[in-house]
């Protein structure tokens, strides 16, 4: 709680402790920044706008810039009808605001809601990092295509090169990139996946640098009008099978 008014700090502290929260006080913006520097970021900052010396806007701006606190919830306390301050609070990075005079029960509920939202956002970011790591470990190529057979996204496989460079197919339709027979099979498969929600596997062959390369693509719906194609190069597997047949 950052406020130069001791009475308001006490009221805020009592309100938040009533919701089971531990509260640390700072009587100025400078003191708050010093505390962040020595103790690290708290779960949430309740910050008054009007303070002598460094005002709340500057404190909020510096917190965002100096402490790698992009996701730290910052609730600013503004005047009751001060729409300009509210707009500026969001501009400098405030997450939310509450108007004076502060109603203690409402303050507690608002802070608790912000904390829950921040916790969910943090969990979502952890999940994203985990999924990103898993995707990086997958050796297959991944293509995202829409209902019009347009390439919308691409992830390269480890050591697997696409038929043409990504800049040559991103934003283009399958039939503009691949041979007619392969493109027709893929377009039919995409239609079936979007119609039935089935996971469909398609095997096909492409000629690259005069050599035949064999692929296996698994198509799955990944949105209302999007399909994810996970493509594996099975050329070596095919060659091994051919070698065994000729033994």
pLDDT digits (tens, 9 = 90+) for 181-219: 999 999 999 999 999 999 999 999 988 878 888 999 999
Q: Give the count of beta carbons closer than 10 Å to the beta carbon of residue 26.
A: 21
Which among 39, 51, 40 has a CA at the least distance from the CA of 6? 51
The predicted-structure confidence for 21-69, as pLDDT tens digits, reads as follows: 999 999 999 999 999 888 888 899 999 999 999 999 999 999 998 876 7
Q: Give the count of beta carbons closer than 10 Å to the beta carbon of residue 116.
A: 10
Instruction: Please tell me the predicted confidence (pLDDT) of residue 149.
Output: 95
Write down the pTM of the prediction.
0.55
Round to whole Å and give the CA distance between 4 and 193: 62
Instruction: Please tell me the predicted confidence (pLDDT) of residue 128.
Output: 65
**Where does the pLDDT of residue 140 fall: very low under 50, low under 70, confident under 90, or very high at 90 and above?**
confident
User: For the chain, how far is it from start to end, CA to CA, in angstroms?
Assistant: 79
Residues 6 or more apart whose Cβ sits within 8 Å of residue 137: none
Instruction: Please tell me the predicted confidence (pLDDT) of residue 139.
Output: 63
Given strand 211-221, what is the order of strands in its sheet? 151-155, 141-146, 226-233, 211-221, 200-208
Where do we find the tokens 């469909």? 200
């Amino acid at each position: 709680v950052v406020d130069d008014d001791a009475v308001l700090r006490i009221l805020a502290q009592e309100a938040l402790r009533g919701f089971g929260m531990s509260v640390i006080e700072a009587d100025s913006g400078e003191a708050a920044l010093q505390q962040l520097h020595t103790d690290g970021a708290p779960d949430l900052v309740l910050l008054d706008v009007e303070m002598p010396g460094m005002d709340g806007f500057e404190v909020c701006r510096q917190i965002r810039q100096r402490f790698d606190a992009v996701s730290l919830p910052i609730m600013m306390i503004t005047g009751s009808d001060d729409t300009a301050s509210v707009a500026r609070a969001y501009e400098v990075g405030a997450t939310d605001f509450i108007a004076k005079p502060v109603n203690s029960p409402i303050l507690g509920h608002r802070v608790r809601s912000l904390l829950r939202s921040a916790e969910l956002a943090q969990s979502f970011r952890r999940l994203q990092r985990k999924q990103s790591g898993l995707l990086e470990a997958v050796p297959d190529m991944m293509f995202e295509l829409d209902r019009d057979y347009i390439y919308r996204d691409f992830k390269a496989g480890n050591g697997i090169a696409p038929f043409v460079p990504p800049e040559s197919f991103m934003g283009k339709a399958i039939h503009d990139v691949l041979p007619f027979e392969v493109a027709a099979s893929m377009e039919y498969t995409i239609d079936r996946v979007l119609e039935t929600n089935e996971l469909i596997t398609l095997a096909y062959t492409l000629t690259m640098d005069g050599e035949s390369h064999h692929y296996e693509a698994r198509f799955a719906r990944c949105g209302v009008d999007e399909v994810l194609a996970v493509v594996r190069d099975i050329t070596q597997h095919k060659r091994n099978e051919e070698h065994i047949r000729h033994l």
